[in-house]
Structure 1
Amino acid sequence: MQAFNTLGFDCTLEELDLEDITKNQINTIKACTSEDSGTGNCPVLERSTFNTSKCLQGIYEDLKAYRAELKNFSDQNVLTTIDEMMKALRNSSTSVLQPSSNTGSTFKDRMRLCSVLHAFRIRTVTINRMMNYLTSLESSL
């Protein structure tokens, strides 16, 4: 939340059109839900067809995409946290920390950052829920 307070304006969801920067690639939502969601808005998670590896890969790809998007704008704590999550998902990750350069200083850049940060915050809720679901699968075996 600290990143929201350093943009120089009130960065609220009401002022934004959120952009899904992962919509054209594998991501948590595509990888962790059923291809055939059936009727209604809530995709069904069938234990027999659920692919844990694919889901974890989708989560990793989300983190990688958001890290790349935020690397020039966010403080080092955000990037370090994303790196730690990626490392936990893939022990062989060779991610190298890049220092933050904060090059996006125009108002348009800061508005985009605000949008990306809110989208990422929402995606982390989805990731957290999927990780809890995966944990519950493991504990019930």
Structure 2
Amino acid sequence: ELGTFGFECTLEEVDLEDITKNQINTIKACTFEDPGTGNCPALERSTFDTGKCLQGIYEDLSAYRAALKNLKDQNVLTTIDEMMKALKSSSRSVPQPAAGLTSFQERMRLCSILHAFRIRTVTINRMMSYLTSPESSM
């Protein structure tokens, strides 16, 4: 939004930053590690680890929660906290008060992270739908 960042925060204006690429995340934890020759990893029911997948989703949410802590919109942070609590009842994530975004570079980075998070939530949503579907039961 123009009012939040001081510029139009559109997907076309920023380079996406994957803040989870060097750690366990939804994509690494919920797909087959060796996709083979194709570029679309397959889910193998015999080797699929539901616990590992849920942990990857939790780690994604945790990483994005930390990166977005300066966001003015506390609704996003509260929603992430609720999702984390649903995944791990022992989570004690307490919303932090939003600090002011001081530089244009910080606002651009936050815009980039928000778009990357929006895309990652699509993946998380699809994995949660898969995990709760009758076909995923063994």
TM-score tier by shorter-chain length is over 0.9
Contact 1:4–1:114 at 8 Å: present in 2 too? no
| Runs (5+) with no aligned partner, structure 2 | none
Q: 1:130 aligns with which of 117, 127, 133?
A: 127
8 A Cα contact 2:45 2:136, kept in partner: no
Confirm whether residue 10 of structure 1 aligns to residue 8 of structure 2: yes
Query: How many percent of aligned residue pairs carry the same amino acid?
Result: 78
Q: Classify 1:120/1:5 alpha carbon distance in 2 versus 1 (closer, same or farther; 3 Å).
A: farther
What number of residue pairs does the alignment pair up? 138
Equivalence for 1:119: 116
4+ residue runs of structure 1 moved beyond 6 angstroms?
none
Q: Quick one: which of 19, 24, 30 aligns to 1:26?
A: 24
Deviations 1:55-112 (A, max 9, x none): 000000000000000011242111100000000000111112212123x232111111
What CA distance in whole angstroms lies between the structure 1 residues aligned with 2:129 and 2:3? 30
Task: Tell me the C-alpha RMSD between the 2 structures.
Answer: 1.6
**What secondary structure, in the 3-state scheme, does the structure 2 residue paired with 1:38 have?**
coil
Change (3 A) 1:61 1:78: same
Q: Which residue of 1 is the match for residue 37 of structure 2?
A: 39
| 1:18 and 1:119 in contact (8 A); partners too | yes
Q: Is the 8 A contact 1:34 1:44 kept in 2?
A: yes
Q: Give unpaired runs (5+ residues) of structure 1.
A: none
* 8 Å Cα contact 2:130-2:136 kept in structure 1: no
1:16 is matched by which residue type in structure 2? Answer: V
